[in-house]
Chain A
Amino acid sequence: MDDKKIVELYFCRSESAITSTQEKYGALLSGLAKKITGSEMDAEECVNDALLGLWNSIPPAEPENLRAYVCKVVRNLALSRLSYKLAEKRSANAEMPLSELEEVLPDGAARDALDMVDFRLLLNDFLAELKPEARIIFTQRYFFFDTIPEIAEDLGVSQNKVKSSLRRTRNKFKNYLSTKGSAL
């Protein structure tokens, strides 16, 4: 079913909207949530929560890209769940990419400065400057938490190429943020 029709179903308060969303994106969402939480049970609960979240948020929200929207909802829920789990059990899938990025983003005053600007604009302006392949690799790694081998297979390139692309992009991002941070 077309995404627009699914959104219409949400607007009509038809319960088939949830079924259709699950039908169409259930696997994608489960996969994403499982990568982050590292647990199938948690992933399933995240997806269920996300579907409930969609039901509650649409309307008034009217996402233009339902797939991206629902992915963001699941990602946020899964990350929240992960933070509860961190003390007892860490999820290797999500931990590794986050720790890679942790070094890139500034701390202290610089971070406060970043908090004050619209980070959304900064991030997306930076991504717009990247070559498509580097951008896809970056997004797969840090938004979808795909592993290096998965990305390499998806792109049909070597794992080393993926690693070096990520390293270069992180360095660029770091420089970009420090430039923008000092400009503030």
Chain B
Amino acid sequence: MNPFSLRGSLRLRLLVSTLFWIILSIIVAGWGLGKLFHQHVEAQFVAELKNHLDQLTAQLLLNEQNQPQLKIAPSDPRLNKPLSGLYWQIGQLDNTNHPEEKVLLRSRSLWDETLSVPTDILADGEIHQHRIDGPHARDPIRHPPVLEISQEQIDHPLPRREGTAWLTALDQLARFQRIFHLKAPAQDAGVVLRVLERSVTIHSHTLRLMVAADESQMAEPVMNFKGQLWLALVILGAGLTLAALMQVMIGLAPLKSLHAALGRVRNGDTQKMEGTFPSEIMPLVNEFNSVLVQNAAVVERARTQAGNLAHALKTPLSVLANAANSPQKKEDKLAHLVLAQVNAVRKQADYHLSRAQAAASVLLPGMRTPVKAVVQGLVRVMQRVYAERNLEFELFPVDEALAFRGEEQDLQEMLGNLIDNASKWATSRIEIQVECILGKLSVRIDDDGRGIAEKERVHLIKRGVRADEKVPGTGLGLAIVEDLANMYGGELSLKKSHLGGLSASLTLPVA
């Protein structure tokens, strides 16, 4: 499985889901904060306008002609700078039924423009907000307003003045009225003004006070803030991503050690999973270990039961065999039958008991048996058992670290049978060589006996076949070795030895 596919990788899953939420949160936070700041700036903007409006209202009075007049002109320098973006205007509503505005006073900054706000009727002192298209609010020096001069014919009848040609020409001229008009440059047409208006009624004159400012003034701090905000959010996002990466790495690190611990069990380095794991993983490890212990207990129980069965079966068999074998019964047919049957039962029991044992043990992980100690132990046993025959056992040097991936008892059974077999047939010398060849444990046992003919060798491995009845033994030895070796994925082969006798080679998995 590809370790980097989303389905296959826990790391990728965690990273992708975390990154998704980080990015989403940052976008939402950026948008939300920008919005909040915009609202805040707008509130300030409106508050400032209101301040100006209040000032204007406070300075307003009517002169004798009932014309509005300001006691002191508003002080903000922007109000005197043409098209600065801050304006005020005082108008009058002529008729409440057909309101038609007449501009009475306006700020210098408005230049030739007026603030044309839709007329609405307000209660006295009430403030209303409008957004209107306004004159451009740029720096008039850098973007000077365009001066438009248009002429139009004044369409009123000329007085007839006969004989005064120059006057006629003058009249002709007078027929045109020049209109000077400052217009904002075309590209600045999009300027939007925020207007605060308030109706004030003095001596039954309803005046319309307006203060307006270019909304683009708000945009600048908002843009600045947003620029910094997004920069900060990108840095935050990068930090969070890094944190997520580290979290995933650190968080998933125990899985790596879990893997290693499992590997050690599989290789047989340890019998159970060792090490301390996080509290989320520890229960798994404990469960796994208890399964291992349980398995081992099952195998042990199977072994014990096989042992008990063997004991229970073979002691009565011994009694039967001894009774049938007494010298007085040499000619007794029944005694012969009993002896033969006892022998048959024994063979069957031995064969099936060892198979049962092997079948159970192969299932166990975590098995590792150093070979050297087992071989040395077996050689000592053979030396003692065959002490009479003065056999020479030559065990070539064995690497201490070389280990069999499997049960000690099974290795003892296989090697024991092979060395015992060699000892039975050897004249004087047995050679044992244990090596690791091509990643496999290889054990070769040679004897200097009379050997076995090639066609007999295959036959010999078959269950219960004995090459010669002269040497005590069940004849099962090689068959059991073959079975056990096969169960471990190894194999047994027999060939002629350089010593003259039989050479038995066993290959087994190495741990």
Q: Do A and B come from one complex?
A: no
Q: Which positions in A face B, CB cutoff 8 Å?
A: none
Q: Which positions in B face A, CB cutoff 8 Å?
A: none
